[in-house]
Structure formats: C-alpha cells, structure tokens
C-alpha cells in the first residue's frame, strides 16, 4: 500500500487506518507472531515517514511524505467475517465489490 502526502493527515488517523487494515490481513490475536509482525511493520512505516520528512535537501522542496507498508498474513479475521450477514449486506450495497 502507498499513501501519498501522508503527513497532511493526523497521526492518530493514520494509525487507526493502518491498524484496521492489519486487522483484515494479519492474525488479530495479540499473542500471535503475525499480529506482532504487522504492528512492527506499521510502526516502522510511520517512523520512516516522520524521519525522512525531516530530511534537508538541496532543493528546499517541501516533501509531505509517502508511506509504504506491506502486511503479510493469513487474513483469518477477514475470512471469518466474509460469511456474516453484515458483510453480505455491505457487499450487496456496493456493486463494485462483487
């Protein structure tokens, strides 16, 4: 995933968004290795944006930062929820989601 101009968004908004995505991709149980690896990837990505955003360049161009994140996991929570009535209702209300 790549989000451009990420520094224009509040940190808490970005953290909540990325945690929500990780919930669908990684094992949602805090004791699992997937959970820890996903949260570590999120922390690294957010720190990298902050760090590189402070970099001074020769061209005095204001860089608003790009966030790059890759999450790898079993998507267990997503697949468990796919068959629920709420998911079916959401999917039927969005023709592009089929």
Per-residue pLDDT tens over the stretch 44-96: 998 888 877 776 566 656 666 678 888 888 877 777 777 888 777 877 887 76
* DSSP 3-state of 75: coil
Task: For residue 86, give both structure tokens.
Answer: 């709420």
DSSP state of 31: T
Mean pLDDT over 17-44 rounds to 91
What's the rounded Cα separation, in Å, for the pair 66 and 31?
30
């Amino acid at each position: 995933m790549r989000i451009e101009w990420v520094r224009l968004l509040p940190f808490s908004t970005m953290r909540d968004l990325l945690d929500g995505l990780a919930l669908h991709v990684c094992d949602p149980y805090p004791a699992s290795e997937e959970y820890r690896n996903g949260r570590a990837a999120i922390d690294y990505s957010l720190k990298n944006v902050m760090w590189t955003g402070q970099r001074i360049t020769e061209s005095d161009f204001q860089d608003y930062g790009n966030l790059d994140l890759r999450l790898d996991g079993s998507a267990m929570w997503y697949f468990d929820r796919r068959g629920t009535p709420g998911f079916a209702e959401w999917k039927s209300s969005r023709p592009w989601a089929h």
